[in-house]
């Protein structure tokens, strides 16, 4: 049975100040200067149209159990993990695999043993698998046939079938692996509630040689029967330092790269044409995933600003989120705010002329910074895993001219048992994040007295305890 609600104008609560934890746009400061630009170039441009309905969209506060989890993230544990991984000498894909002290095999086995230690203490909620395949030589970066192995620790949720949230991991990229291990240790503890969705903590191989481990894992999930429902994937790649090559420090910011248009192999030309027609090129699953991370993970408990960058990755670079995007899964990349390229992909050496130290050395890692990045990951993963999932088949009625907007949708893949209500969110078309929200209850159709021609809308599900999910852009009814 379809339920319907019709919502018409009401006085919205005025926002006296920017939501707590959200960094003000610098243009709001410039607007107060005598040399201000015309108002069409300032933040006032995103305040139109006025919203006669709804209320300001404010960040989601972490519940008590999540606050407890985030408080456990320990920089000392992060440091110990990174130093241990560095001690293996090399973790190169082509390095030795049958040693207990050196090479990628020793690192793989140690990571698996750490995950298993946490699994043994988890009362059965965490399981560990080492999966892989034989990668033949490719005449490029793979010089001979080699085993590619991924270590996957899965914190099983309460939903059936399983719905997944995923994250993977000196700086490149022991820092990411250290975060995976630390979060698995904390979140699998029996004293905490099991999440609704499952969370996979993963260390993959072969990233530098061609994203081989991530490609294998993404295809493993995509080709499963039934196809695994991965509703979000994060890679933490180069999250170990906050100091740039010019000495610039930004220890309280982490970049999050969110792709725009999906690959054509995921979204065909017809769907892309519809997306471009309605101005939805910035409202892809990956980008709306990134928007929610900012809402749930930029707060006093993490101590971090999440700077969302609207592109797949940095120039000339790539990461393990890409194979998941190509498999049709929402994915995004965390990376430190400023990079020192002398500390990445460099032989360890001191330049004789300048005295500059090159190499990806543990001495350049900022362990408190990495711990804060870990808290951002923890807040994002737990919040998403506790949400009901994303509504399906979200549509807007565009069959006739009107100054209101009617939406239709279906429950998330797991059904409506975990849904407390649905929310309509919106923002002005040039605004980067959702600015307004309206709780419409447990319905599957709603009419809002605001024109679809003037704003970008989204529909998201919210659990009975208030944990919001990722918003979905409505496409016109065919």
Q: Are residues 50 and 90 in the same domain?
A: no
Count up the domains in the chain and report the number: 2
| Cβ-defined contacts of 273-282 (< 8 Å, 24+) | 274/475, 274/476, 275/473, 275/475, 278/473, 278/475, 278/476, 279/429, 279/456, 280/456, 280/473, 280/475, 282/310, 282/456
Q: Are residues 40 and 88 in the same domain?
A: no
Cβ neighbours for 32, distance < 8 A, ≥ 6 positions apart: none
Q: Report pLDDT for 90.
A: 83
The 3-state secondary structure of the chain reads CCCCEEECCCCCCCCCCCCCCCCCCHHHHHCCCCCCCCHHHCHHHHHCCCCCCCEECCCCCCCHHHHHHHHHCCHHHHHHHHHHHHCCCCCCCCCCCCCCCCCHHHHHHHHHHHHHHHHHCCCCCEEEEEEEEEECCCCCCCCCCEEEEEEEEEECCCCCCCEEEEEECCCCCHHHHHHHHHHHHHHCCCCCCCCCCEEEEEECCCHHHHCHHHHHHHHHHHCCCCCCEEEEEEEECCCCCCECCCCCECCCEEEEEECCCCCCCCCCHHHHHHHHHCCCCCCCHHHHHHHHHHHHHCCCCCCCEEEEECCCCCCCCCCCHHHHHHCCCCEEEEECCCCCHHHCCCCCEECCCCCCEECCCHHHCCHHHHHHHHHHHHHHHHHHHHCCCCCEEEEECCCCCCCCEEEEEECCCCCCCCCCEEEEEEEECCCCCCCEEEEEECCCEEEECCCCCCEEEEEEEECCCCCECCCECCEECC
- Which residue range is the domain that position 429 belongs to? 5-60+393-476
CATH code of residue 263: 3.40.630.10
Q: Are residues 236 and 140 in the same domain?
A: yes
Q: Are residues 372 and 444 in the same domain?
A: no
Please give the structure tokens belonging to residue 229. 């429902």
Final residue of a domain: which of 386, 412, 446?
A: 386
pTM surpassing 0.75? yes
Final residue of a domain: which of 341, 361, 386?
A: 386
Q: Are residues 219 and 341 in the same domain?
A: yes
Q: Are residues 329 and 451 in the same domain?
A: no
Q: Are residues 148 and 52 in the same domain?
A: no
Q: Are residues 200 and 279 in the same domain?
A: yes
Q: Are residues 344 and 243 in the same domain?
A: yes
Q: Report pLDDT for 172.
A: 57
Rounded to an integer, what distance in angstroms lies between the CA atom of residue 128 and that of residue 118?
10
Final residue of a domain: which of 367, 386, 405?
A: 386
**Each residue's pLDDT expressed in tens, for the chain with a length of 478 residues:** 445 555 544 333 333 444 444 444 433 433 343 344 444 555 666 778 888 899 999 999 999 999 999 999 999 999 999 999 999 988 788 888 888 899 999 999 999 999 999 999 999 999 999 999 988 888 888 888 888 999 999 999 998 778 887 765 544 568 999 999 999 999 999 999 999 999 999 999 877 777 889 999 999 999 999 999 999 999 998 999 888 888 888 999 999 999 999 988 899 999 999 999 999 999 999 999 999 999 999 999 999 999 999 999 999 888 999 999 999 999 999 999 988 776 677 777 888 888 777 777 787 899 999 999 999 999 999 999 999 999 999 999 999 999 999 999 999 998 999 999 999 999 999 999 999 999 999 999 999 999 999 999 999 999 999 999 999 999 998 6
Q: Are residues 100 and 121 in the same domain?
A: yes
Q: Report pLDDT for 46.
A: 73
CATH code of residue 43: 2.60.40.10
Q: Report pLDDT for 210.
A: 74
Q: Are residues 380 and 409 in the same domain?
A: no
Q: Are residues 55 and 68 in the same domain?
A: no
């Amino acid at each position: 049975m379809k339920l319907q609600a019709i919502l018409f104008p009401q006085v919205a609560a005025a926002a006296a100040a920017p939501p707590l934890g959200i960094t003000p746009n610098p243009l709001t400061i410039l607007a107060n200067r005598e040399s201000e630009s015309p108002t069409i170039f300032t933040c006032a441009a995103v305040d139109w149209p006025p919203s006669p309905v709804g209320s300001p969209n404010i960040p989601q506060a972490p519940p008590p159990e999540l606050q407890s989890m985030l408080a456990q993230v320990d920089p000392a544990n992060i440091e110990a993990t990174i130093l241990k991984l560095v001690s293996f000498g090399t973790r190169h894909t082509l390095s030795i695999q049958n040693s207990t002290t050196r090479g990628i095999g020793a690192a793989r086995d140690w990571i698996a043993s750490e995950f298993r230690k946490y699994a043994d203490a988890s009362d059965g909620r965490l399981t560990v698998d080492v999966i892989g395949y034989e990668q033949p030589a490719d005449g490029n970066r793979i010089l001979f046939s080699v085993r590619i192995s991924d270590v996957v620790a899965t914190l099983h949720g309460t939903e059936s079938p399983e719905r997944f949230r995923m994250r993977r991991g000196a700086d490149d990229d022991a820092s990411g692996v250290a975060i995976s291990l630390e979060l698995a240790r904390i979140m699998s503890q029996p004293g905490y509630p099991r999440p609704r969705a499952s969370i996979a903590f993963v260390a993959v191989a072969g990233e530098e040689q061609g994203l081989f481990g991530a490609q294998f894992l993404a295809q493993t999930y995509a080709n499963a029967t039934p196809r695994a429902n991965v509703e979000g994937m994060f890679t933490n790649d180069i999250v170990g330092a906050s100091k740039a090559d010019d000495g610039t420090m930004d220890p309280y910011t982490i970049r999050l790269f969110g792709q725009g248009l999906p690959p054509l192999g995921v979204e065909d030309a017809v769907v892309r044409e519809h997306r471009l027609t309605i101005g939805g090129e910035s409202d892809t699953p990956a980008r709306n995933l990134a928007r929610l991370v900012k809402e749930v993970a930029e707060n006093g408990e993490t101590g971090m600003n999440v700077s969302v960058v609207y592109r797949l990755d940095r120039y000339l670079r790539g990461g393990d989120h890409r194979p998941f995007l190509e498999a049709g899964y929402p994915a995004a990349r965390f990376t430190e705010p400023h990079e020192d390229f002398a500390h990445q992909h460099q032989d360890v050496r001191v330049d004789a002329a300048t005295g500059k130290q090159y190499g990806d050395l543990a001495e350049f890692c900022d362990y408190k910074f990495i711990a804060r990045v870990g808290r951002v990951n923890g807040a994002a993963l737990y919040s998403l895993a506790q949400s009901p999932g994303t509504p399906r088949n979200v549509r807007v009625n565009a069959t006739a001219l009107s100054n209101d907007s009617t939406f239709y949708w279906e429950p998330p893949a797991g059904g409506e048992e975990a849904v407390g209500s649905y929310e309509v969110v919106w923002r002005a078309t040039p605004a980067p994040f959702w600015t307004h929200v309206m709780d419409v209850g447990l319905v599957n159709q709603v009419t809002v007295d605001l024109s679809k021609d003037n704003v970008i809308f989204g529909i998201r599900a919210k659990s009975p305890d208030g944990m919001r999910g990722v918003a979905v852009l409505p496409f016109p009814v065919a």
